[in-house]
A and B are shown apart, each in its own frame.
Chain A
């Protein structure tokens, strides 16, 4: 087992950069390329569609459940392989997977996000892909999501968590 689990990362952010090697300039462009491929899959599988999200919450189509389920299965297998074989990153570092500690926010915040997911037909990823697809008005939704994030940050210490 060469995978290190760090729990102090949770405070930094929830999708942290755990790499020691610092990347700058063109080195960062590879993440944009991965994002481009990811965005293409989002559109081609119609995951960004408001209608697909409605079908999902109305239990009238298997599509979204199939997408999320097979994505998780692929992720589980990949992470198990990385752990079992001690696969290192391309710069030779140990793979770090931060621990997610249980908090009340996962229940309350999770529920609030679910309400918004059904209205907007988008989680944060598809918001970006919808804008790119030409539904430019979703930029307003994105700004409002940023405002929501800011308001959470402002009152984070006062909310039950």
Chain B
């Protein structure tokens, strides 16, 4: 339980325009990045394999995994970050655990999830 005033601060600063993606979802995260002076949006598409902390808290993060050129790539996004422009949920997977770390060892057909 947090101090009510701390929670109030977090409530006034947290983002209400985006949803915390569920574990097992295939998502596309549009993330603003700076290249020198220019700012552009970079998309990162993959599977949510971990959620950390409650979306009510400022420390909440989620991890998106994808296979890029044969290598597994994981990216941890701070959920409350103003740099996240949007999170699009493309598919929901049926999962039976909260952290999908077992997918790291699997390749190809075995690394699939049943759809919800």
**A and B from one complex:** no
